[in-house]
Structure 1
Amino acid sequence: MRKIALPSSGETVSQHFGHAPQFVVFSVENNHIKDKNILKNPGHRPGFLPKFLNEHGIDTVISGGMGQKAVDIFEANGINVICGASGDVEKIVVDYLADNLTTDQNACDH
């Protein structure tokens, strides 16, 4: 089973990963969503969230934006990163699983 996390404010993907109040976590099996849970963001501290999400079994994060240093830390923790997503979190995951996700420029440029 795979786990995909998206930072969100409600059901909309956040444009800055670390500042979102929560993460919507989708459990995926055979390219179908099996479960959806909310994981509260424990706080934005440099280098903390990649380890935290890895410990929760997350293997992919999809965000509107994330700094390159954060991307590098996530990847070092074995987590695939996709930036430039926008809109409804569930639609983003459905599109991603169908290989139809369209992304824009990374919303975080620092």
Structure 2
Amino acid sequence: MMTNEILRVGFPTNDCVNVEEHFGHCERFVVFSVKDGEIVNKEILEAPEHAPGVFPKFIADNNINVVITGGMGQRAIDLIKANGGQVILGAAGNIKDILNVYLSGSLYSKGSACAHHHHDEDHKCEH
């Protein structure tokens, strides 16, 4: 990362404390701005309505560089990456703890994309 560059790391959440298991089902995003390894700002953003392509556009519009989540559909992953973003899957638990692991360079994506059944509103992501 270049000096003086702000890295924006976003976490989908419902309670603003823990990572939401599925990216597309969250109510909010906690977004940390990080400069030279230090957290310089924390924002809580209301998530947009869940519809195809809306969340990746929201990520790009809010200049979020990295999304750390439990699971995400392959289309959303592809759209975020196409906009220059990074996706880390398989995260669970306390957002602040996960952010600290990420900033230490020890967090790696360990999940796989969720298979969606587009007409099933009760979709559960199995990993």
TM-score calculated relative to the size of structure 2: 0.80
Question: Over residues 35-64 of structure 1, what are the superposed CA-to-partner deviations in whole Å (9 max), with x where a residue is unaligned?
Answer: 111000021110111112211111110000
Deviation of the 1:26 alpha carbon: 0.4
Q: How many residues align?
A: 110
1:98 aligns with one of 98, 104, 108: 104
| Ranges of 4+ aligned residues in structure 1 off by more than 4 Å | none
Q: Read off the aligned partner of 1:42 and give its amino acid letter.
A: P
Counting aligned pairs with the same residue, the percent is: 44
Q: Comparing both chains, which one has the higher relative contact order based on Cα–Cα distances under 8 Å and sequence gaps of 6 or more?
A: 1
* Alignment root-mean-square deviation, CA: 1.5
CA contact (8 A) 1:47 1:70 kept: yes
SS in 2 for 1:13: coil
Structure 2, gaps ≥5 residues long:
1-5, 117-127
TM-score calculated relative to the size of structure 1: 0.91
Deviation of the 1:15 alpha carbon: 0.7
Task: Summarize the Cα distance change of 1:21–1:33 in structure 2 as closer, same or farther, 3 Å threshold.
Answer: same
Q: Counting strand residues as a fraction of each chain, which structure ranks higher?
A: 1
Structure 2 residue 74 is the aligned partner of structure 1 residue 68: yes
